[in-house]
Structure formats: C-alpha cells, structure tokens
Amino acid sequence: MNRPLTGKVAIVTGGSKGIGRAIVLKLSGLGAEVIINYAGDSDSAEGLARTVIDNGDKAHVIRADVSKVEEIEKLFQTTVARCGQLDILINNAGAARYKAIADFTEEEFDKLFDLNVKGLFFCCREAARLMADNGCIINIGSTVTRVMLPAYGAYAATKGAVEQITKVLAKELGARAIRVNTLSPGPVDTELFRVGKTDEQIRQLAGLAAFGRIGTPEDIADMVALLVDTQSGWVTGQNILANGGFAA
C-alpha cells in the first residue's frame, strides 16, 4: 500500500467531525501521524482516535479552542513536544452564521471572525514558526466567496479573509518550500451545513452543481490528499475550488 506521508506529522483543527474527520482518516491512512484538534466534543475526538489506531495508524487528541491565541500556542507546542516535528497543517475549524447583514449583532460578528479568521491567522503564525521546511498548509475556505447568497455576508467575509491570508503566507514561506493553499468546498453534507436548512433548500443547492448533488466530506479529504502530495509541489498561493461545478 502506498503511504507517502509516512514520517510526517499533521494537525487537523476541528478534526473530530464532518470534513475534519474525513481528512484525519485520509491523512492517517496515507501514513501521517495526525493530531486531532477539537474544542468541545471529546467523545467524538477520542472515538476517532481509536478508529485510527485500530486501523494501525497514529493519532493524538489535543483539546484547544482555536479562537483563543493562548490555546493555539499550546496546541502547537504540545504537538512538537509530543511528535518532534510538524509537517502539515489543515486549518479546518470554523463556524457559520446564516443571517442577513441587517440583522447581524456585533457579538455574532466577533464570534464568527474570532474562529474563522483570527483563529486561522494565529494557527498560520505558529506553523510559520514551527513547521519543518517543505511543509504544507491548507486553509479551508468556501465557494461562497464566488457567489451572491443572501444571509451569507459575514461568513463569506471571513472566507475572503482566509484567501488573502493564504496568498501572503505563501509568499512569506516560499523560500522554505512550504506550500500554502486555500481549498474551497461548495455545499458539503455535514452537520454544520444542514443547520437551518430544509430538505427542499438542500435539493435546490444540489441542483446548482454540475454533478447535481452536494459534496461529501470524503470529496474534500481526497482533494486534501492531492494537495499535500509532493506531486502538487508547484502549487502554492492558490484557491482550489472543490465544488462539483457549483454556480449560483
């Protein structure tokens, strides 16, 4: 079995559920030693770690609220202390709030930006300081920055920021051969995506994709695997849309 990530250490933020869970299983199956980061649901994180270990692969669970800088610092320091290195970072942790801009509160805005932008930014900072040369950072963005969907204003703003952070960091880390890319899913069938949506709304969104369906977490994990592979070594500073031809 081809295991190209053997000897590599990866952090997946928000790694216990949904897209994060699929990424953990994909990277560990390719040989990486994976840090499963979570903020609240220890049962899901520990259960996933057991699954990885039962598969004969390596996983560790580290709790950290990545909207808080001090907890981000601890996450990265613990990873390096425990595993000896850091080669891959998948900035997957995030939240969504679907609400008209006119109805948004300052508290809702701050909470969304604290996790989606501030948290990702400082995870990137720690990776820039601690990651081994020839590493790989993937920031999970969203196709919503390419369309005009009502009630997505604040969420789309956070993901637009992610894209710009990616571009700048790719330049800053290029001399160390660390690749930094944004991977932007379209609608993906996760618990987070389904919040506040009816089955009819989900069917309508599926109809906007060329393939006529919404994505799966495994679709996104497969793209992560492509981007961390050395055959993608000439790809950095890009926003890769993984959305099944979604257009609104």
Catalytic residue numbers read: 155
Do residues 192 and 140 make contact, with C-beta atoms less than 8 angstroms apart? no
Of the candidates 168, 246, 174, the one whose C-alpha atom is nearest the C-alpha of residue 214 is 246
**Alpha carbon distance 182, 103 (integer Å):** 29
Beta bridge mates, 89: 11, 137
How many Å is the Cα radius of gyration of the chain? Answer: 17
